[in-house]
């Protein structure tokens, strides 16, 4: 897929105020500091499209970006940032849950996982919650450039092995590096394949 245009459309905290119409949406979510903004900028090849910050957990809104006038890329708030107040974290959880469960246009939720770390309980619980609610999702392992090839493979395998203990069928997964644009084509091709499938259903 060639990204010809990428434009910011709207930010809000209320799923009912998201863009009207039935263009498919692909949402990105992960723990704070997982590299979500950098990944979005890499995918769209627009360096400042999603705001990157040295302070984790700055995304507190549902951010919609219109891609090629055909689909939306949605930047969701990160979860699990310890420095947030309980009240703010509860608000973030409500925003995430309402979007993920109520937004009919969401074709896939990409859950970002830092490939440098062992499986984290907060990620595993979130993935389990997605499965329980029948949410279509895929895993995106980030920061692959920070590891050697063998360690990277071992970390990804360990993660998938742990998921396999609970899942009969593993979700799709992608290994990415925003620094090297690794995994970009695979992710965009996956999105394009879903778009084609949706378009076929509409005919």
Domain containing residue 138: CATH number: 3.40.50.300
Q: Tell me the C-alpha distance between 163 and 44, whole Å.
A: 30
pLDDT above 50 (res 54): no
Domain range holding 152?
6-14+23-202
Q: Can you say whether the dihedral through the CA atoms of 91, 122, 132, 139 is positive or negative? A: positive
* H helices present in the chain, as ranges: 36-44, 86-102, 121-132, 149-164, 184-202
The DSSP bridge partners found for residue 195 are: none
Query: What mean pLDDT comes out for the span 103-132?
Result: 94
The reply to whether 142 falls in a domain is yes
- Reported pTM: 0.93
The reply to whether 1 falls in a domain is no
pLDDT above 70 (res 183): yes
The reply to whether 53 falls in a domain is yes
The reply to whether 98 falls in a domain is yes
The reply to whether 171 falls in a domain is yes
pLDDT in tens, 128-156: 999 999 999 999 999 999 999 999 999 99
Q: What is the pLDDT of residue 203?
A: 56
């Amino acid at each position: 897929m060639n990204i010809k245009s990428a434009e910011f459309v709207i930010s809000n905290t209320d799923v009912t105020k998201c863009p009207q119409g039935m263009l498919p949406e692909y949402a990105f979510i992960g723990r704070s500091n997982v590299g979500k903004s950098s990944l979005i900028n890499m995918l769209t090849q627009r360096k400042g499209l999603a705001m990157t910050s040295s302070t984790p957990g700055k995304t507190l809104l549902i951010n919609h970006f219109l891609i090629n006038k055909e689909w939306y890329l949605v930047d969701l708030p990160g979860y699990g940032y310890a420095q947030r107040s309980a009240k703010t974290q509860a608000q973030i959880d409500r925003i995430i849950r309402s979007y993920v469960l109520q937004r009919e246009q969401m074709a896939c939720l990409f859950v970002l996982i830092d490939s440098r770390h062992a499986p984290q309980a907060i990620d595993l619980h979130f993935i389990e919650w997605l499965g329980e609610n029948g949410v279509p999702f895929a895993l995106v392992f980030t920061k692959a450039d920070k590891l050697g090839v063998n360690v990277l493979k071992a970390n990804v395998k360990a993660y998938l092995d742990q998921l396999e203990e609970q899942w009969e069928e593993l979700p799709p997964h992608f290994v990415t590096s925003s620094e090297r644009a690794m995994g970009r084509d695979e992710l965009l091709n996956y999105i394009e394949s879903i778009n084609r499938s949706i378009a076929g259903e509409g005919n």
